Structure 1
Amino acid sequence: MPDTAFAIAPSPLTLAGHGVTLVPLDASHVAALEAAAADGELWRNRLTSVPEPGQMAAYVTAALAGRDAGGMLPFAVREDDSGRIIGTTRYHDILAPVARVEIGYTWYAASWHRTHVNSACKLLLLTHAFETLGAKVVGWRTDNYNLTSQRAIERLGAKRDGVIRHHALRRDGTVRDTVMYSVVAGEWPEVKAHLHYQFSRHAA
C-alpha cells in the first residue's frame, strides 16, 4: 500500500463525544430527520440540500447508495441530552488512493443552530479522519452565497483553497460557484487545539 493511502479503509461506525453521537445513517432515521428538517423548514433555504417534505426516504436511500459505492459515509446526528436525532452529516468524495475525504451534506434542526453541535460533530469527524483513517487532507465545499457556511468552516481553522466557477445546480435550477476549503494533516494539531479551546470556553 502506498504511503499516500488511508491507514485503514473508511467504514460505518459510531462516533461520540462533546454532547453528540454520530450513528451510521439507515432507513430507521427517516421519520426523525423529517421532524428535524421541519424545525425551521430547512428546505426553504435555496443554498442547502435539505430535502422537502416527503422526500427524506429518497434522500436517505441515495446516501446509502453512496456508502455502498464507497464514496460516502453518512451519519445521523443524535443530541445526547434529549436522545433526539437532530440532523445529519457525512464523509463524501472519499478518495482512497490519496487519503482525501470531504465533510458535507450537513444540516441540523434550526433549534440547534449556533450551539455546540456543529463544532462537536466536526471535531469528531476530523479526529477520526486524521487520527484513525490517516487522512492526508479533509475538505469542505459550499455555495458561494452561503456566507454562514463559509464563516463556520473558517472558524474551524480550514483554509480557503479557491472557487470552482459554474460548478453545481442549486435546488431552484440556478448554477452555483463552489467555494473549496481544506485542512491538511500537518495543520490538524493546531486545529484540534483550537476546537478544544472553543469547547472549554463554551463550558465555562
Structure 2
Amino acid sequence: MNRFPPAPPVLSFNQVRLEPLAPEHEAGLIAAVRDGELWKLAVTTAPAPEQVAAYIQTALSTRTAFAVIDECSGKIVGTTAFYDTDPDVPRLYIGYTWYAQSAQRTRINTSCKILLLDYAFDTLNCQAVGWHTDILNTASQRAIERLGAQRDGILRRDRKRKDGSLRDTVVYSLLREEWPSAKSALLSRLHAYSETGDIAVQS
C-alpha cells in the first residue's frame, strides 16, 4: 500500500521553510522549546528539552512531521505535522504544532498553514483538512477560526492532558471548495502588514 501522505518535499513560502522532521533537527527544537518554556504549558504538545529526541522518534513513526524554519534567521522555530490520515476520502488533520515564544504572533504560523493547506488540497487532492484542539486553548481556537475553518463540534472527555486531567476536544474542518476563498483572505492579511521586517499576524 502506498503511504498517505507520501514523503513530502521541502516546502517554502514567505521566508518560512518546512523540512521533513529528522533527528538532525533535535538541537534546533531544543532551543525552540526553551524559548518560552513551552513544555510547561498544559495545553500544548511541546516536549521538555530532554524529551525532544524521543518526541522526534515518535513523530517519525506516527505522523508526517516537519521542522519549521525561519529563513530570515535560519533558526528552527517549531514543528507541525499531518496526522490521522485517511487515504480513502482523502482527509487528514494538521496538528502537533508549537512555536518558540519569539515566533508566536508573527508571519510564521499563517505562512505554515498556507504551505500545509496548499500541499494538502492541491498536491494530495484532499477533500477535507481538520484540526483538534483543547477546549481550554482559546488562543488555538481563534487561530484555527482565522484560517477559515468551521467548528464541527466537541468531543467530550476525549483524551488526557499532560497533568492527567481529561480534556474536551474542539474539532474543526476546512473543505476543499472552501480553501480558495480562505487562502485569499489569508494572503490579504499577510499583505496588509509591514512591507519590511516581520508580519505581525497570528493564525
Q: What TM-score do you get using the length of structure 1 for normalisation?
A: 0.92
Aligned counterpart, 1:25? 21
- List alignment gaps of at least 5 residues for structure 2: 196-203
Q: RMSD between aligned alpha carbons? A: 1.3
Letter in 2 for 1:93: D
- 1:31-180 to 2 correspondences below 5 Å: 31-66=27-62, 72-180=63-171
The Cα shift of 1:9 comes to 4.5
Matched with 1:15 is: 11
Number of aligned residue pairs:
193
- Per-residue CA deviation, residues 185-204 of structure 1 (Å, 9 max, x unaligned), is 11011111111111111244
Query: Residue type of the partner of 1:80?
Result: E
SS in 2 for 1:55: helix
Distance (whole Å) between structure 2 residues aligned to residue 53 and residue 133 of structure 1: 33
Counterpart amino acid of 1:59? Y
Say which SS state the counterpart of residue 138 (structure 1) adopts.
Answer: strand
Structure 1 runs (4+) deviating above 6 angstroms are none
1:126-183 Cα offsets, whole Å, 9 max, x none, are 0110011100000000000000000000011100000000001100000100000010
Rounded Cα–Cα distance in structure 1 between residues aligned with 2:77 and 2:193: 20
Structure 1 CA distance for aligned equivalents of residues 194 and 81 of structure 2: 26
Gap runs ≥5 in structure 1:
1-5, 67-71
Name 1:186's counterpart in structure 2: 177
Between the aligned partners of 1:9 and 1:140, the Cα distance in structure 2 is: 16
Distance 1:24 1:147 in 2: 28
CA–CA distance in structure 2, aligned partners of residues 124 and 12 of structure 1? 12
- 2:33 maps to a residue whose letter is A
Q: What percent of counterpart residues are identical?
A: 48
